[in-house]
């Protein structure tokens, strides 16, 4: 404090022509700190972030003292056709982009990515996924490989959203050998793309793990090259041999299947291995106990188990039951055929032809789908043809 007073007095005495009051104001003004940069307010007002997003993003921008760099970045993005929602997505996904050098970084990044066919909106999505790891040389070379592998820009972005680590993975030593192994197993490029869109980690695991999964899928009775083989590989990707055996045992007990019937069902619909016990039990109770289907019948048509119980299986069963009870449907038209129809065809085959004999059928069917979809259990809430 004494040192400050001496400094002020010294400064006052050195300007005898000015009044002491004006000198004091000048010194106080010079010593006062510059207004601090309100990062959160800037992110909301200039970048379009919500308060919650701004609070989270501001922790990565605490070093910013002025809006100079962020203003330059936002001006560049706006000038290159990025919409306000694109900008908000970029900043929310990677706040540090506001600290980027425009000419040395953003200009070549956007030029190269749009050169690969990405739209401004797609570039924005990609930058928002990168979390500050957008290295131009790496990402362009990787995208040149991934774009044809996944079949489209949107598919590639879906994969990168789930696993941006693919950009830093070694193509020659890791990714390409895994893709080659999947191809050797009989999977086509389209199947590989669909498989890896859901499970991008398959491209970066070791080759031996891929071979083990392929072998396990084949042991389920699903032949390589078949339409179901991709689904079999996907099903076993997260399951150990012990878990597969346990699920097979549960299927056998729940659906009253023999070992042979379990094998038939799983080979036809391997995704059964990934379904929860409650999912399987509820369908067993309905299809066997209520509809009256034979276990063997279900084993040979396991796709029945994949449909929504409330949104498809129950409502269509009650329509078929109503039509047969009122002699409006041939007895040889089975329930499986009704379930397998698309909604449009089901309406054309099972609802529309009976509008005169059963004028409320369409309304009752739609109401049943809504009622069961909402898990209604009160009979007063159900349409008349069900009760």
DSSP 382: S
* Residue 61 φ then ψ, to 5°: -125, 20
Contact partners, residue 218, CB within 8 Å, separation at least 6: 224, 229, 232
Q: Which residue has the tokens 């040389």?
A: 137
Q: What is the pLDDT of residue 28?
A: 46
> In terms of C-beta density within 10 A (0-12 exposed, 13-18 middle, 19 or more buried), how is residue 66 classed?
exposed
Lowest model confidence (mean pLDDT) among 32-36, 179-183, 270-274: 32-36
In angstroms, the first-to-last Cα distance of the chain is 89
Interatomic CA distance for residues 77 and 119, integer angstroms: 13
Question: Residues 88, 48: contact at Cβ < 8 Å?
Answer: yes
Q: Which tokens go with 52? A: 């919650």
Q: What is the pLDDT of residue 141?
A: 86
DSSP 40: H
Does the structure show a pLDDT above 60 at 206? yes
Interatomic CA distance for residues 340 and 305, integer angstroms: 11
Question: Residues 106, 143: contact at Cβ < 8 Å?
Answer: no
Question: Residues 118, 154: contact at Cβ < 8 Å?
Answer: no
Lowest model confidence (mean pLDDT) among 102-106, 230-234, 348-352, 358-362: 102-106
Does the structure show a pLDDT above 70 at 190? yes
45: Cα separation from own chain's centroid: 29
Does the structure show a pLDDT above 50 at 375? no
Q: What is the pLDDT of residue 346?
A: 94
CA proximity to 260, closest of 236, 287, 291, 295: 295
Does the structure show a pLDDT above 90 at 9? no
Mean pLDDT score across all residues of the chain: 85
Q: Of 12-26, 64-78, 155-169, 203-217, which one has max mean pLDDT? A: 203-217
> In terms of C-beta density within 10 A (0-12 exposed, 13-18 middle, 19 or more buried), how is residue 242 classed?
exposed
Lowest model confidence (mean pLDDT) among 144-153, 216-225, 268-277, 322-331: 322-331
Question: Residues 83, 118: contact at Cβ < 8 Å?
Answer: no
Q: What is the pLDDT of residue 319?
A: 94
């Amino acid at each position: 404090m004494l040192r400050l007073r001496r400094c002020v007095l010294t400064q006052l005495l050195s300007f005898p022509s000015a009044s002491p009051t004006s000198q004091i104001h000048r010194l106080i003004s010079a010593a006062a700190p510059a207004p601090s940069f309100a990062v959160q307010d800037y992110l909301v007002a200039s970048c379009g972030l919500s308060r919650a997003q701004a609070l989270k993003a501001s922790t990565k921008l605490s070093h910013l003292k002025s809006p100079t760099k962020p203003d330059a970045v936002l001006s560049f993005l706006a000038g290159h056709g990025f919409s306000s929602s694109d900008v908000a997505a970029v900043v929310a996904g990677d706040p540090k982009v506001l600290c980027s050098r425009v000419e040395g970084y953003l200009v070549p990044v956007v030029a190269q990515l749009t050169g690969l066919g990405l739209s401004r909106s797609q570039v924005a999505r990609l930058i928002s996924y990168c979390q500050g790891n957008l290295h131009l040389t790496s990402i362009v070379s990787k995208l040149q490989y991934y774009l044809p592998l996944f079949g489209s820009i949107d598919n590639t972005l879906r994969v990168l959203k789930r696993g941006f680590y693919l950009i830093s993975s070694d193509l020659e030593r890791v990714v390409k050998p895994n893709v080659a192994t999947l191809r050797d197993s009989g999977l086509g490029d389209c199947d590989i793309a669909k498989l890896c869109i859901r499970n991008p980690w398959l491209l970066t695991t070791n080759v031996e793990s891929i071979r083990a999964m392929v072998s396990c899928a084949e042991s389920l009775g699903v032949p390589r090259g078949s339409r179901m083989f991709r689904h079999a590989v996907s099903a076993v990707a997260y399951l150990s041999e012990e878990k597969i055996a346990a699920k097979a045992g549960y299927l056998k007990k729940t659906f009253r299947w023999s070992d042979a019937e379990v094998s038939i069902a799983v080979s036809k619909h391997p995704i059964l291995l990934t379904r929860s016990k409650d999912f399987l039990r509820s369908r067993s109770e309905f299809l066997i106990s209520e509809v009256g289907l034979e276990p063997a019948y279900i084993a040979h048509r396991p796709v029945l188990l994949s449909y929504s119980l409330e949104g498809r299986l129950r409502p269509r069963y009650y329509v078929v039951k109503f039509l047969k009870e009122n002699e409006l449907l041939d007895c040889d038209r089975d329930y499986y055929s009704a379930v397998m129809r698309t909604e449009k065809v089901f309406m054309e085959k099972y609802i529309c032809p009976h509008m005169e004999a059963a004028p409320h059928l369409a309304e009752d069917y739609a109401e049943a789908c809504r009622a069961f979809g909402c898990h209604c259990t009160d009979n007063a809430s159900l349409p008349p043809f069900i009760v």
